[in-house]
Structure 1
């Protein structure tokens, strides 16, 4: 009888099931090794990398934004191939990156039954029904929610949020002061007005009227469930709802009052499902109650966190001043007051001045997304609009230098929405620099995603510029796009003076033949001397792949490529000398 198979009391053989306590099951250590030897696929897609167990290539592809749950032409996901080949670490990487593997689903059952060995099955069971990682915006705001001590204590008491691990009771690194605290039956929930107003019409109305100046709100209704309200407010921050099944009816009532209609519809249907179908979800070892997990992506786009904060941002931008100087500030405040009266309070609590323009922003958003702003806002004292004779709003004011107003507008667009609708290519370099300065590194990915459509029609000279720029700022997606384009159209680029001139500004390719073949510096490689890796090494590898060079002729083809580069460099040096001579002659005349 196979391991994990059991017999009932009457000796019959039930449906195959795996022992819950997998750590105590004996298994042969040889089962932990893949059936196919690990190999490198430096240019393979996510399915090839999964079959090969190439961790470096998988990490690169996942960092580049490849859909971990995407399907190939055979309708299979990458996790299926990893399980089939028995690559434990590759399977772990895919699962940690959001690969979904729930039993009693098409993909989940395929992965469970195709798993080559017991170690992979154990891993799948551990990740069963685990939600995918949160996006940067949701993750940052969730950390801010748990940065509040009352919320950490509440989560620890009744184990509300388990999906991504319980926050440490002593973790204050993500703390940002709440501006409102709710008490339900004596239990506090700390929150920030702008988040709640963005997600719920009820909270928005109350913060503009009854609760406008209140920092503490106490609910007297005995029937109000603390756990249900806690789960809802956590959902407002993270776009992920995790609630005990027994609390779902209470949550539906709260959603109805808070006017969260779409969420209420989903919960209503799930409650009916609970009554007529067996519910499957995570269970603790101690037998705690079943939980319902809902991703924000299950709701219409307008009801998700990025769209909600985008509406807040657009309102703030409409109220913000547009390029007035200090002498016009009084009129700005008057017009802002009129617009606030017409549009409702945007709950802004800080002003950022850039190139004479004032942007009304929200401290909790800036601090959650950027460590730079968190540190600066904590130290902010005495920077008030009232210093210039304005005594109406008294919002703290900061000023940014060496950044254009248009680029700052794009910066806060990403902070509030986790994306960029479009971008002017002329802004890209400034945005890459801002991403580093403001410690907002995922912004580079968003800029690259918005920039790729522009690169499809870019000239060879522009692609050379973007290659150097992306290599300088470490923007892998643009760098890969430029290298792929150059490798597939190498002779076309070789005929341009811009490409030849670029060769003089970057290090030459390595002369170590081992780096050309078995240890390429391209993504997925495993070169020992990483200092040798450079643009031309990667271009060579991509050119060899594009030319489909046979393996036994790879070194010969690489040598021909290097020889071609040497000739192009000599031509570039000659052209450079001619240009300098012409310039010198013109200066003499």
Structure 2
């Protein structure tokens, strides 16, 4: 296996080691990490997951292309190093031929635009001949092909229909599938391949030629190459053409629409919608964007598809009351399905993603939650109460668990703070029609992480069957350890706090 020391691959290994499926899935699906690489210690994600006993990670990796070849050193190491028989039996069911190739979210969305399976059609041109017709998007063509970009600013600028020579139709259809990361059969006749390579050269798509000519690539590697190239092209487009060519209108958001539309109309930007955010001096920064990327947000999708959507020929103008830094992270994710989120901005990004309904698996909300929780130290400029309230506001279990764990690991400090008492009462109030004996979610989570902090596990203390978070009772034959005594003391202090607040949980 290839050695990889990329930051994202090391993040993948860290998530694998910790059994953090959300982080693992984000690295694989948002950042296209190769699951069949190793670090400098010769650990692949699958080997680590097997050794650490994380069967849910093992299953995920196998389903997302991890290769297990039993007759190799790495395969044997993975099999015989498995922590338990359940993992070993799962591994034995798989081999190199049973790993499946799952479309990444980026590729799935882009290919849906070509296939007509997108939830909203924002195509703005059509390639046709007497026997062929295919809708397309100017911004995609401009991002992926230098030739198409030049034509769109030249003789295609005012056209919506482009007539193709009949002899180029098949080759052009293959090229479009490459551009849109759609799957296609690579088995071409010699004549078809020659036509396609000629067209690839004309369209300035050298990687399309490599896709067919590189005999060392398997089907999965070809697919990864296709997706990675498209993602890189779209990343360059959003940086240079969307963020890099944003402009400022000297008017507040509510008054900037007319001028913003005029600038777009007179420009050569490849966009059919506008997004504006406020600046520090009460002006508006405007981004020219594509509807086909905005619809990755259910908020914007609803605005385009709702029966209440405004019926107008004007370019849609959206406002977002966030800083340009936050807006550009959102836009980067919408176009590329990945984003670098600084920890000091992660909570704001999380709230914005939640507002925009970008909260599906591997969404921007998920990436922001991972960024917040990536270190035991709190993000700069935040406190644990802000994180917990944001978790409740955005319905983020990952943040709730992070906050409860942080409180449990610094319990002595928090117990004396009035703000901690207030947050416990807030947690209790979150349960509608709460009865006196109902549990309080935050308190339950803190008890759980206290047991983890003190190393209290059922299999380590055979006194009686119990669950984490319960006081340990001493037995004549099994005296309590120092850690168990300390754990009981912390639970007693927590119960005393609840009594002082007239709460039971």
TM-score (norm 1): 0.60
Change in Cα spacing, 1:496 to 1:382, as seen in structure 2 (3 Å) is same
Tell me the equivalent position of 2:269. Answer: 346
- Three-state SS of the structure 1 residue aligned to 2:180 is helix
- Residue of structure 2 aligned with 1:101, choices 42, 64, 67: 67
Tell me the equivalent position of 1:295. Answer: 225
Counterparts of 1:308-319 in structure 2, within 5 Å, are: 308-318=237-247
Within the alignment, does 1:360 sit opposite 2:270 as a pair?
Answer: no
Tell me the equivalent position of 2:186. Answer: 244
Q: Is the 8 A contact 1:316 1:348 kept in 2?
A: no
- Residue of structure 1 aligned with 2:151, choices 201, 206, 211: 206
The one-character-per-residue Cα deviations of 1:131-180 (angstroms, maximum 9, x if unpaired) are 3541x33332222322x2xxxxxxxxxxxxxxxxxxxxxxx563514222
Tell me the equivalent position of 2:199. Answer: 254
- Residue of structure 2 aligned with 1:542, choices 441, 449, 454: 449
Q: Structure 1: where are the runs of 5+ without partners?
A: 1-43, 50-56, 149-171, 283-290, 385-394, 509-530, 574-589
Tell me the equivalent position of 2:299. Answer: 372
- Residue of structure 2 aligned with 1:127, choices 94, 98, 110: 98
The one-character-per-residue Cα deviations of 1:494-524 (angstroms, maximum 9, x if unpaired) are 344333432332249xxxxxxxxxxxxxxxx
- Three-state SS of the structure 1 residue aligned to 2:426 is coil
Change in Cα spacing, 1:251 to 1:399, as seen in structure 2 (3 Å) is same
The one-character-per-residue Cα deviations of 1:60-87 (angstroms, maximum 9, x if unpaired) are 5646758793868963445347779999
What is the CA-CA distance between 1:466 and the residue it aligns to? Answer: 0.5
What is the CA-CA distance between 1:185 and the residue it aligns to? Answer: 7.4
What is the CA-CA distance between 1:308 and the residue it aligns to? Answer: 2.7
CA distance in 2, matches of 1:77, 1:123: 16
CA distance in 2, matches of 1:457, 1:90: 27
What is the CA-CA distance between 1:206 and the residue it aligns to? Answer: 0.9
CA distance in 1, matches of 2:254, 2:21: 50
What is the CA-CA distance between 1:317 and the residue it aligns to? Answer: 1.8
The one-character-per-residue Cα deviations of 1:402-425 (angstroms, maximum 9, x if unpaired) are x44645555334322334444695
CA distance in 2, matches of 1:468, 1:540: 19
What is the CA-CA distance between 1:489 and the residue it aligns to? Answer: 2.7
What is the CA-CA distance between 1:348 and the residue it aligns to? Answer: 1.8
Tell me the equivalent position of 2:387. Answer: 466
What is the CA-CA distance between 1:259 and the residue it aligns to? Answer: 1.9
What is the CA-CA distance between 1:255 and the residue it aligns to? Answer: 2.8
The one-character-per-residue Cα deviations of 1:338-369 (angstroms, maximum 9, x if unpaired) are 6x2xxxx11221234566745432211112x1
- Residue of structure 1 aligned with 2:331, choices 407, 412, 416: 412
Counterparts of 1:134-145 in structure 2, within 5 Å, are: 134=104, 136-145=105-114
CA distance in 2, matches of 1:205, 1:121: 53
Counterparts of 1:216-295 in structure 2, within 5 Å, are: 216-220=161-165, 222=167, 224=168, 226=170, 228-238=171-181, 243-246=185-188, 250-261=195-206, 263=207, 266-267=210-211, 271=213, 273-274=214-215, 280-281=218-219, 292-295=222-225
- Residue of structure 2 aligned with 1:448, choices 353, 366, 369: 369
Tell me the equivalent position of 1:35. Answer: none
CA distance in 1, matches of 2:14, 2:136: 43
Change in Cα spacing, 1:434 to 1:183, as seen in structure 2 (3 Å) is same
Tell me the equivalent position of 2:357. Answer: 439
Counterparts of 1:415-564 in structure 2, within 5 Å, are: 415-422=334-341, 428-429=347-348, 431-441=349-359, 442-451=363-372, 456=377, 458=379, 462-507=383-428, 534-549=441-456, 551-552=460-461, 555-556=471-472, 557=484, 559-564=488-493
Q: Which has the larger radius of gyration?
A: 1
The one-character-per-residue Cα deviations of 1:244-282 (angstroms, maximum 9, x if unpaired) are 043665444333222234x25744xx62x53xx7x7548
More deviation, 543-552/415-424:
415-424
CA distance in 2, matches of 1:104, 1:219: 50
Change in Cα spacing, 1:455 to 1:310, as seen in structure 2 (3 Å) is farther
What is the CA-CA distance between 1:202 and the residue it aligns to? Answer: 0.9
What is the CA-CA distance between 1:127 and the residue it aligns to? Answer: 3.2
CA distance in 1, matches of 2:409, 2:256: 56
Counterparts of 1:301-340 in structure 2, within 5 Å, are: 303-318=232-247, 321=249, 323-324=251-252, 340=267
Change in Cα spacing, 1:108 to 1:484, as seen in structure 2 (3 Å) is same
CA distance in 1, matches of 2:346, 2:22: 26
Tell me the equivalent position of 2:432. Answer: none
TM-score (norm 2): 0.68
What is the CA-CA distance between 1:463 and the residue it aligns to? Answer: 1.5
